[in-house]
Amino acid sequence: MLTLNVVAPPSILPIFSAQPSNHQFNYINYRLANTGRRKLKVSRLRFLKDNPTQVVESSSTLQEEEEPQPEEFVLVEKTEEDGVVEQIIFSSGGDVDIYDLQTLCDKVGWPRRPLSKLDAALKNSYMVATLHSIRKSPGSEGNDQKKLIGMARATSDHAFNATIWDVLVDPSYQGQGLGKTLVEKIIRALLQRDIGNITLFADSQVVEFYRNLGFEPDPEGIKGMFWYPKY
């Protein structure tokens, strides 16, 4: 008998990977619904009395204030018939092994990218959210099996704009709302830092998934454009 303990209820929406390909991408934008209720962020800058054109930054910089605080918690826990306990751990600490990430990309059918560039992309991201499966067998303390099963990341100018990239979930874990959780957690972290213009690019088959999360295709007639090297 399978016992399932949902610590944070997953969505019933199907999960799709926004797979990079040569297909037409759709530019999608997430906009704040209640902009009038947003708090005005005041950067801690002061002007010198004798020289009003010279700005001195306070000891607490704006970048330090805006860095997302990492969090980690058990999203789902279930006990299988043989007594094995599986936990799905959400983390926003950016702890990703690039070899594990490459394996996950292979599982969803993404084209391989150079490991050095994957590593650079992760290090230069504003936020990286992951899902790991940890399986604990009875009587095997210290021999837990840990596997990367999901990831999403965001880049940002730390002020106005952010873009979500690389949303992917292991095919054997899709359909449980895990991709929705990854995207929603990133959106929440960005909005907490008053970054309200959030965009992403998606294949046509996943547009409806992101629409259900509050994104709008081509808002106000703005079209995403791409430039590719011609060689």
Question: Residues with catalytic annotation?
Answer: 210
In the sheet that 127-136 helps form, which strands lie side by side, from edge to edge?
Answer: 3-6, 72-79, 85-91, 127-136, 145-156, 161-169, 197-203, 25-30, 215-217
Helices 98-107/115-123 angle, 10° precision: 110
Alpha-carbon Rg for the chain in angstroms: 20
**76-80 long-range CB contacts below 8 Å, 24 or more apart?**
76/4, 76/5, 76/6, 76/7, 76/8, 76/10, 76/176, 77/5, 77/7, 78/2, 78/3, 78/4, 78/5, 79/2, 79/3, 79/5, 80/2
DSSP string, 184-221: HHHHHHHHHTT--EEEEEEEGGGHHHHHTTTEEESGGG
At 205, phi and psi to the nearest 5? -75, -10
Handedness of CA 15, 19, 23, 26 (dihedral sign): positive
Cα distance between residue 151 and residue 179, in whole Å: 8
